[in-house]
Amino acid sequence: MPRPCFARKGKEQRFYARNALKTMLDRVRKRLMRLFWGTRADFYQPSRIHPALSSSFDEGCRMAARLIAYVGTLALLAIVALHQWNELRIDAAATPAAPAGWSAATRSYPAFAISQSDFIGKTETYEILRHPEGGRKDVMRWVAAGENPVAELEIYRRGGESNPPQPPLAELANRVDPGGGRELEAAGVIDSKFGPVSLLRPTGQTDRRPPCLAFLKQIDDPDLRLSGWACQDATLPAGRARIGCLLNRLILLSAGNEPRLAELFARAELRRGDCGAAATSALSADWVTNAENPRLRGAL
């Protein structure tokens, strides 16, 4: 009777085979469910952020910070470049070519200054020219960005150089109206701390608004010449008052080895008047100092 034994053994093998397969499938199913439900549980927890999302957010913040820093650097460089370009335009417009025999002294220090400027919105430039024979010119100009200068003041200390090829009036006329070819005519006299100063204007100036006024003052001891022009005021009386204030506010910063220059400015400061009074006297000028022709009473 061996059949029952074989039958029982076959049943046991089939039982174990089914249990082993079931056990393996249960293990695989539990592992998959654990992974799946674990991920789902992490996803739905409101107080917890997935590591992948957290790392992406941090990387985005770092990239945004780098982008902001890059754009800010470009904006700063653009501002600096624009400022330098405007400075170059101002220097190019305000600094004409040096006269023959003169050269720019870039290492020299300014010797004069204006204590208070009336040229609002204009930039003051300072240029120093030297002659091989010892002459020196300190030139101050007032100019706006991209425009021609509106005023100029030149202090000329003569050295051992010979007489210039042009007389002072012709040289001043070329500075007031470069290339214009117009001469200067008398436009009255104003008083300043350096004494009486002659005013001049281009001939036939009726077509120019605002009108230009030039001035010239020669001092013998020490050998010093003050000259310049202004083309900003709408009327000649206002221009006379501005030039008077400009000369009264001229101060000496350094006399160097010229004691007579320091003495000149010390004496001039004792005679310096108020700009308000100068403006009033300029507006009420008499027939001697007025720029216009005298008005006579009665009929001829």
Query: Residue 242's CB: how many other CB atoms inside 10 A?
Result: 21
Strands 224-230 and 136-143: unpaired
CA distance 185 to 213: 10
What pLDDT sits at residue 219?
Answer: 93
In Å, what is the CA distance from 213 to each residue of 82, 178, 181, 225?
A: 34, 14, 16, 17
pLDDT the model gives residue 118: 80
Residue 99: the pLDDT is: 64
Give Cα separations from 139 to 68, 151, 276 (angstroms): 46, 11, 26
What pTM, to 2 d.p., does this model score?
A: 0.61
Segment-wise mean pLDDT, segments of 10 residues, the chain, 300 residues: 51 56 68 58 52 69 85 88 68 55 87 87 89 92 82 91 80 83 86 93 69 91 92 83 92 91 94 66 48 43
pLDDT at 283: 45
| Per-residue model confidence (pLDDT) at position 234 | 74
